[in-house]
């Protein structure tokens, strides 16, 4: 219990300490924001600060801080420490830096920021990579909420699944095509309230149950017999940081920050909008990690069940049938409100790459049509069997962290160019590069995962660390560029 509550307290303290420290370094000021300079009535639209915060929270808090931590808590109570520390130093820092870079570059999307800071060669490879990742995100964030909707009536068949898929996909397309203030700006506040209500409901239930039976939030003997350890091919480094794909750090967030950078009225709202909302996602992750630990202690056999079903069992057990259904709906909202903006980010990125104005409705449609075709193919493939979906989630998880490392390296260059302490980005960049490189070098079917290089863990550690340090050294070879101007 105290690890859980202490971790939440640490996240809150982190916002008022490290977050404010970063704010002094990045120095948001009174210069005109992209929403004012480039107002177009479609993507560059001023929105109230409270709406921007809720939109950012719903954009970034997808299924990762729920499904990811239900899996991740299998590593044990250490998760309650790693989530807040990683979030404060790496995840929220990543989001704040990505948002500020976009604000200072006229609301530029992530590929454009990569081109400016890491060069053309990296830009083209990165643009392809981020496009593929966003398509994976859209497919995952249609697939999982459709499965959750299908399970609301307690049936085991797929009688509602494809209907839900079509309905969600149509909503994504509409939200992608219409101006940001017409759909996203109007319905997100309601969705945000539902999300917060669901989170507080499960938080209250877990705390109440934890005080009545403190063993629920500890590593009981039955839990330890099934928990993930290095002995059963689940080393914390690197696997934990790939499994919890969003609660600690997520590269996907940097693709979402430009949406808010294009609707902010003042740079001074950046800390609360970017750093603060990632801290809030960390709190959501802590709540669901505690819920996962409690249900695994009560029913150890659930540790062998897919996390989407564990989610349903957890909410029903602690909140009852109706309360559980409402909370599952809140989680469905988490996924849907990240998937729609992921698709919007795809449109904006392609428009930026091919220099296609998005003021005309026809131009937006022409960019969305090929996206519909590709995502439809991914959905059909991912639902062909369980293995296909597991591969889809795995590719999403590790590529998400590759994206985070790239963003942080770009931020390192940006900070150096502006004569600011670059280490605030470089430290998490090196660490996440080490994590991803080690994972790819180590993972293999023999190690309980997909195809990788299958090296011994110690060997993978060595080469992963070497790759990370070499990349850091490489970005300092070129001379600093011109700094930002008013």
- Distance from C-alpha of 264 to C-alpha of 258, rounded to nearest angstrom: 10
Dihedral Cα 135, 137, 141, 142, nearest 10 deg: 10
Output the furthest CA–CA distance in the chain (Å, rounded). Answer: 62
Residue with tokens 């039976």, as numbered in its chain? 213
**Cβ contacts of 266 within 8 Å, gap of 6 or more:** 28, 30, 33, 49
Domain extent listing, the chain = 2-393
3-state helix, strand, coil in the chain (%, to 5): 75, 0, 25
Tell the burial category of 95 from Cβ atoms under 10 Å away from its Cβ (0-12, 13-18, 19+). Answer: buried
Tens of pLDDT, residue by residue, the chain (486 residues): 889 999 999 999 999 999 999 999 999 999 999 999 998 888 899 999 998 998 888 878 767 788 889 989 999 999 999 999 999 999 999 999 999 999 999 998 888 899 899 988 888 888 888 887 778 778 877 877 887 787 666 555 556 778 888 888 888 888 777 776 677 667 777 777 777 787 888 999 999 999 999 999 999 999 999 999 998 989 999 999 988 877 899 988 888 888 899 999 999 999 999 999 999 999 999 999 999 999 999 999 999 887 878 888 898 899 888 877 877 887 787 778 777 777 877 787 778 777 888 778 788 888 888 888 888 887 777 666 555 556 666 777 788 899 899 999 999 999 999 999 999 999 999 999 999 999 999 998 888 777 789 999 999 999 999 999 999 998 887 766 665 654
Cα-based distances in Å from 106 to 112, 175, 267, 484: 11, 22, 12, 12
CA atoms within 13 A on the CB side of 27: 10
- Distance from C-alpha of 23 to C-alpha of 150, rounded to nearest angstrom: 44
Q: Give pLDDT, residue 390.
A: 61
- Distance from C-alpha of 179 to C-alpha of 413, rounded to nearest angstrom: 33
Tokens of 40: 């177009």
Domain 2-393 has CATH 1.10.4160: yes
- Distance from C-alpha of 214 to C-alpha of 436, rounded to nearest angstrom: 36
- Distance from C-alpha of 280 to C-alpha of 57, rounded to nearest angstrom: 8
Q: Is 442 helix (H, G, I), strand (E, B) or coil?
A: helix
Of 486, 360, 339, which is closest to residue 32 (Cα–Cα)? 486
Which DSSP helix (H) or strand (E) runs through 222? helix 221-224
Tokens of 294: 């409690």
- Distance from C-alpha of 384 to C-alpha of 382, rounded to nearest angstrom: 6
Of 371, 402, 400, 445, which is closest to residue 169 (Cα–Cα)? 371
Tell the burial category of 356 from Cβ atoms under 10 Å away from its Cβ (0-12, 13-18, 19+). Answer: middle
Q: Is 405 helix (H, G, I), strand (E, B) or coil?
A: helix
Q: Give pLDDT, residue 24.
A: 97
Q: Give pLDDT, residue 176.
A: 76
- Which phi-psi region, left, alpha or beta, contains residue 233 (left: φ > 0; alpha: ψ -120 to 50)? left
Query: What is the pTM assigned to this prediction?
Result: 0.87
Of 132, 145, 190, which is closest to residue 171 (Cα–Cα)? 145
Residue with tokens 């819920």, as numbered in its chain? 291
The answer to whether the peptide bond before residue 238 is cis (omega within 30 degrees of 0) is yes
């Amino acid at each position: 219990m105290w690890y859980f509550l202490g971790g939440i307290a640490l996240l809150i303290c982190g916002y008022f300490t490290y977050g404010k420290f970063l704010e002094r370094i990045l120095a948001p000021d009174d210069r005109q924001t992209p929403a004012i300079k480039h107002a177009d009535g479609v993507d560059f639209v001023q929105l109230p600060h409270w709406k921007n915060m809720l939109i950012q929270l719903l954009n970034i808090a997808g299924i990762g801080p729920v499904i990811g931590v239900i899996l991740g808590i299998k590593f044990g109570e250490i998760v309650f420490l790693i989530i807040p520390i990683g979030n404060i130093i790496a995840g929220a820092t990543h989001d704040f830096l990505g948002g500020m870079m976009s604000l200072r570059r006229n609301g530029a999307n992530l590929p454009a920021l990569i081109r400016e800071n890491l060069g053309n060669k990296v830009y083209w490879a990165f643009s392809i990579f981020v496009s593929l990742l966003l398509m994976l995100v859209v497919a995952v964030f249609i697939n999982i909420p459709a499965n959750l909707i299908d399970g609301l009536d307690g049936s085991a068949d797929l009688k509602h699944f494809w209907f839900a898929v079509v309905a969600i996909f149509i909503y994504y397309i509409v939200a992608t095509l219409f101006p940001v203030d017409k759909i996203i700006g109007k319905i997100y506040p309601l969705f945000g309230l539902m999300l917060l209500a669901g989170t507080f409901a499960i938080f209250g239930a877990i705390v109440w149950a934890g005080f009545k039976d403190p063993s629920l939030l500890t590593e009981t003997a039955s839990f330890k017999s099934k928990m993930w350890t290095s002995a059963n091919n689940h080393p914390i480094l690197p696997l934990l940081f790939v499994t919890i794909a969003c609660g600690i750090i997520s590269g996907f967030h940097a693709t979402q920050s430009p949406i808010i950078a294009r609707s902010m009225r003042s740079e001074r709202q950046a800390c609360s909008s970017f750093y603060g909302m990632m801290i809030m996602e960390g709190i959501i992750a802590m709540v669901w990690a505690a819920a996962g630990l409690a249900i695994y202690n009560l029913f150890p056999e659930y540790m062998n069940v897919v996390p989407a079903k564990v989610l349903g069992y957890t909410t029903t057990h602690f909140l009852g049938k109706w309360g559980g259904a409402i909370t599952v709906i809140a989680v469905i909202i988490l996924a849907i409100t990240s998937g729609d903006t992921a698709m919007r980010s795809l449109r904006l990125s392609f428009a930026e790459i091919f220099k296609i104005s998005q003021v005309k409705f026809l131009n937006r449609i022409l960019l969305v049509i090929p996206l519909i075709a590709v995502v439809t193919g991914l959905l059909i493939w991912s639902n062909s069997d369980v293995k296909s979906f597991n591969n889809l989630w795995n590719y999403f998880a590790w590529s998400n962290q590759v994206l985070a490392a790239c963003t942080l390296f770009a931020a390192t260059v940006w900070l150096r160019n502006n004569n600011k302490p670059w280490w605030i980005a470089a430290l998490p960049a090196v660490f996440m590069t080490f994590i991803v490189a080690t994972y790819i070098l180590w993972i293999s079917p023999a190690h309980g995962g997909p195809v990788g290089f299958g090296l011994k863990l110690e060997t993978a550690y060595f080469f992963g660390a070497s790759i990370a340090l070499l990349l850091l050294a490489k970005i300092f070879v070129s001379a600093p560029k011109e700094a930002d101007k008013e």
